[in-house]
Amino acid sequence: MPYRIGIDVGGTFTHAVAVDAETLRVTFQAKVPTTHRAAEGVALGVTQALRGLLEAGVRPGEVIFIAHSTTQATNALLEGDVAPVGVIGMARGADALKARKDTEIGRLEVAPGRFLETVHAFINSDGLTAEGLRAAVEELRGRGAQVIVGAEAFGVDDPTNERALLDVCAEMGIPATASHEVSGLYGLRIRARTAVINASILPKMVQTAQMTARAVTEAGISAPLMIMRSDGGVMSIDEMRRRPILTILSGPAAGVAAALMYAKISDGIFVEVGGTSSDITCIRNGQAAVQSATLGGHKLFLRTLDVRTIGLAGGSMVRVKDGKVVAVGPRSAHLAGLAYSCFAKELSPSPSVGGGREEDSDVRRTPPLPVGEGAGEWGSALIQPLANDPADYLVAVNGETRLALTMSCGQRRRLRAGGRLRARRWNAGGACAGRSAAR
């Protein structure tokens, strides 16, 4: 029986399904926690999910198509997990003054309170040499850039200099992208900004692409791996290595496609709540609208489905100030490497929980958070889950064990940082969501 396989790598879980290519019926499915902290990255979760399908009865030779969607790029932007970018602007003659200004992108807000840092250098294209490009790259690397963007005025007409910069960066072992690769449209500032976003997720996404392709090959599947694009189409793994920005909203695009195929929706609102982010889109006349993407209020040269994505979902962590819940998210418990209090099953803490190891993220291993009197040694604290996060995320603490309080919790807990735990039952979901969405 021929199968079409779909794999979705979310911020919290990795799902895989095998669809009968003739009837389009979902025949097999598998789900595993997304493996952010594994040496293989999220590709380990892909391997585990594929193994689940093969063990369920899918034979590698029966797979005629395999596509992969991911929220990794979206979540990286929502949570500010991006690489600092160095921008090298280029132009000649009278265009130089304006091009210098247009390529100085500055500090980009990629999500509320989350910023992408850029540093800038400018080179006059007249008499451009490889030595001059190397010097500019070295300068930007010394100022903290981890990836380079080349953006030249009218580079879409003649990308020779941008390509020369890519060659220099390859020789120096630093990731790079060129503005003509992400868009063929005129408008240097928007094109440079789009290239900066592409570059900021390039190191992480290239590594993911390589490991995911290897996972598919090691599973014995010969069908080429395709990647879901933000506009609902698919692209090759090689294209993803150059333009990972096209995977922004890849996960939501796959969700909309599933709604159209299986729910037979022609008109309606499609809402998908995950563990790390939530997506909302409108379907009219059997299709989702396509729009030009914006980020932080700034236009990008990127066509995407008209999807609203927010860093608020089932695994979003509660934030507290002066003893009151002030926000939820965008940091999720799974990405922070914390276990969930609400999925606990044992009364006493397990030594395998806590410490940020990948296996500790498995919610099935989580001990319970006692409620009311007799809470034992459980207390609470405000922490900074990851670097650059605010230090106002609430966790329950018992010795070395830390448990995240998230949107999934069905009880309201009155906690004082560093104090003993007292609690009363309530349904926290709506209140936390309402506060966060209104921010």
Residue-wise pLDDT for 106-152, tens only, equals 998 887 778 899 999 999 999 899 999 999 999 999 999 999 999 99
What is the set of domains in the chain, with CATH numbers? 3-76+204-265 (3.30.420.40), 83-196 (3.40.50), 316-438 (no CATH)
* 383 contacts 395 by C-beta, under 8 angstroms: yes
3 state SS for 60-72: HHHEEEEEEEECH
pLDDT tens column, 185-229? 899 999 999 999 999 998 888 887 888 888 888 889 999 889 888
282 has which bridge partners? 269
Q: Is the pLDDT of residue 101 over 80?
A: yes
Q: Which pLDDT score is estimated for 61?
A: 92
Q: What does the alpha-carbon distance between residue 261 and residue 23 come to, in Å, rounded to a whole number?
A: 12
Q: Which residues contact 94 (CB under 8 A, 6 or more apart)?
A: none
The pair of structure tokens assigned to 244 is 């990972």
Which pLDDT score is estimated for 365? 36
Residue 267 identity (one-letter amino acid):
D
Helix (H, G, I), strand (E, B) or coil at 381: strand
DSSP state of 189: H
Closest CA to 439 of 112, 114, 75, 78: 112
Per residue in 16-41, pLDDT (tens digit) is 889 998 888 888 888 888 887 877 77
Check pLDDT > 60 for residue 386.
yes
Q: 233, 243 in Cβ contact below 8 A?
A: no
Say what the pTM is: 0.70
Nearest by Cα to 26 from 227, 261, 232: 261
Residue range 38-66: average pLDDT? Answer: 86
Lowest mean pLDDT among 22-36, 258-272, 308-322, 410-424: 410-424
Helices (H), 290-401: 333-336
Using the structure block, give the residue that is written with the tokens 């980009």.
108
d(CA 132, CA 33): 47
Question: Regarding predicted confidence, which is higher, 417 or 7?
Answer: 7
